Structure 1
């Protein structure tokens, strides 16, 4: 299904359709503030395994991350955040960043890395955050398979390419071509792992 949503004011009826599907274990392609992502409900293990098959990766090695609605939502899925770290997160989020943080017990085992960490995003995108808000917990965030980034900006092209592999392609307009900036916050100082769409100024 190709579902059109208004990027600024996503239609509640369509958000409900997406959330209903996610709750049943469906897989979606959806917009973020960077590139379009491949996602599912983080508590639907079969859907996560399905995404890993689409990407041809082992779930344990896939370095999957997920989308939270806001900072208070994010704090549920990571171990206690220090005040300086919280301030830093608050200054960068919502935005085009993925922060690697120590995972809390709330994070499903399949999503944790061997180091017990998780990548967490709060994108500056109304559609992605509306989906997460209505679902009541995060959705998986991972890039689409392959190298042809140009093919991952146009929802109609993504639908043509992936309609047999996913259940819903959420059309929120043309997407970006640069992924999020990834920052590892598990050590003494934040370390940039991948420079992407977000400007990063070390504190």
Structure 2
């Protein structure tokens, strides 16, 4: 049984002692350890069963801490991004200092850093006095946790769960790196590509190709997966079997006589609301004894929809296909199988 509570002082004390603490952020719950303690960080990989080639994010409590994790001189663009979006759901990748252990970055010379927009998390990090290395507080490849209960269901070997209720955004942070006057999105998330371009009109904002080598967390093709098969559809299937649940991000006409369990994530089609509910609903569906498979209808890959589809395609990747409007089975690139 995981010890849990709302004591940030106790949580920060454990962090300083090299222990593991799960804590809330505005995105999802994180599993934290002292980011300057290689042995403590190694326990994160062990607890999550996470491969060592997948780097972690360092969480800080103020912009003033950046020189301890980012090598000087720090890019002016990095500082502008931090000042614009922190605290908030943006992670920035930049050259690391010697203080950051290689295990945090999986041997890369760059490190991913963010300042969460969650008062509980910020208080704990500040009290700990060190950057906190933290991926999501779940078993590797499984659904991200958005409530304390989700953490308890998956992790049993951590030292403390700092409770903070349900997360606000429910979707991991956007991860970016800076190359001159180009902002490259390594992982879409809570801050959309459109928002970045709007806030920085003189900068070129581009999406990273997933085929590149891993530069940041969440770039693996298969990730965020429920225990039950998940299939993506271009539209609502004509036949909805009783054993399947249909997941909708926005309202759609439902075939007459459909017997599937139907879950609508936003009655108004608000994709921000849908994103906030997505992981919690997937947790419920994978625990529902009457549901054997999950069908989900795609949304347009624009705005927050880009982040939603990034997670859904990775959740469905192990099942290798989605079904298009003609009932043809295709892989994630649209190729017929």
Q: TM-score higher than 0.5 here?
A: yes
1:147-183 per-position Cα deviation (integer Å, ceiling 9, x unaligned):
234xx22213422442x31111111011243110110
Q: What is residue 65 of structure 1 aligned with on the other side?
A: 57
Counterpart secondary structure, 2:152: helix
Q: What is residue 171 of structure 2 aligned with on the other side?
A: 178
Match for residue 111 of structure 2 among 105, 118, 129: 118
Contact (CA 8 Å) 2:8, 2:123: kept in 1 or not? yes
Match for residue 69 of structure 2 among 77, 84, 87: 77
1:32-85 per-position Cα deviation (integer Å, ceiling 9, x unaligned):
1101111111133222111111222343x1211110111111232102213343
Q: Answer with 1 or 2: which has the greater Rg.
A: 2
Match for residue 18 of structure 2 among 6, 22, 25: 25
Q: How far apart, CA to CA, are the structure 1 residues paired with 2:46 and 2:57?
A: 16
Q: How far apart, CA to CA, are the structure 2 residues paired with 1:114 and 1:20?
A: 28
Q: Does 1:2 align with 2:4?
A: yes
Which residues of 2 match residues 130-149 of structure 1 at below 5 A?
130-143=123-136, 144-145=138-139, 146-149=141-144
Identify unmatched segments of 5+ residues in structure 2. Answer: 201-337
Measured after TM superposition, the shift of residue 113 of structure 1 is 4.1
Larger relative helix fraction: 1
Q: How far apart, CA to CA, are the structure 2 residues paired with 1:113 and 1:148?
A: 22
Contact (CA 8 Å) 2:26, 2:170: kept in 1 or not? no
Q: How far apart, CA to CA, are the structure 2 residues paired with 1:2 and 1:156?
A: 11
Contact (CA 8 Å) 1:99, 1:119: kept in 2 or not? yes
Q: How far apart, CA to CA, are the structure 1 residues paired with 2:150 and 2:134?
A: 20
Q: How far apart, CA to CA, are the structure 2 residues paired with 1:21 and 1:153?
A: 22
Q: How far apart, CA to CA, are the structure 2 residues paired with 1:85 and 1:177?
A: 25
TM-score, normalising length: structure 1 = 0.85
Contact (CA 8 Å) 2:102, 2:108: kept in 1 or not? no
Measured after TM superposition, the shift of residue 107 of structure 1 is 1.3
Counterpart secondary structure, 1:40: strand
Equivalent pairs counted in the alignment come to 189
TM-score, normalising length: structure 2 = 0.53
Q: How far apart, CA to CA, are the structure 2 residues paired with 1:93 and 1:125?
A: 11
Q: Which has the higher contact order (CA 8 A, sep 6+)?
A: 1
Relative distance call for 1:47 and 1:57 in structure 2 (3 A) is same
Which residues of 2 match residues 33-112 of structure 1 at below 5 A?
33-59=26-52, 61-79=53-71, 80-112=73-105
Contact (CA 8 Å) 1:52, 1:62: kept in 2 or not? no
Match for residue 146 of structure 2 among 153, 158, 161: 153
Q: How far apart, CA to CA, are the structure 1 residues paired with 2:42 and 2:49?
A: 10
Contact (CA 8 Å) 1:155, 1:174: kept in 2 or not? yes
